[in-house]
Amino acid sequence: MTDSEITAVVDKLLIEEFELEPDQLKPEALFKDDLDLDSLDAVDMVIILEQEFKFKVKKDTAFRAIRSLGDLHAYVLQKKSEM
């Protein structure tokens, strides 16, 4: 799977799980301020990412530093490259 395919899957998961509009999903979009997602949504995000990409997020402190969609894309790409 290419990097662009991975980011497209991440975006698709967010659209489906949180009922976001595709035009909201810009790399600079902040989860809290722009996408109106909270800490409970972050828990759901961890679950769907783990299920889709088959890696563990739960104890990874780097995940807690994610603030924007671009940060999330970079995080998922890094995790996939480590597999």
SS (H, E, C) 12-68: HHHHHHHCCCHHHCCCCCECCCCCCCCHHHHHHHHHHHHHHHCCCCCCCHHHHCCCE
Q: Is 41 marked active-site?
A: no
The catalytic position among 38, 41, 44, 71 is 38
Positions marked active-site: 38
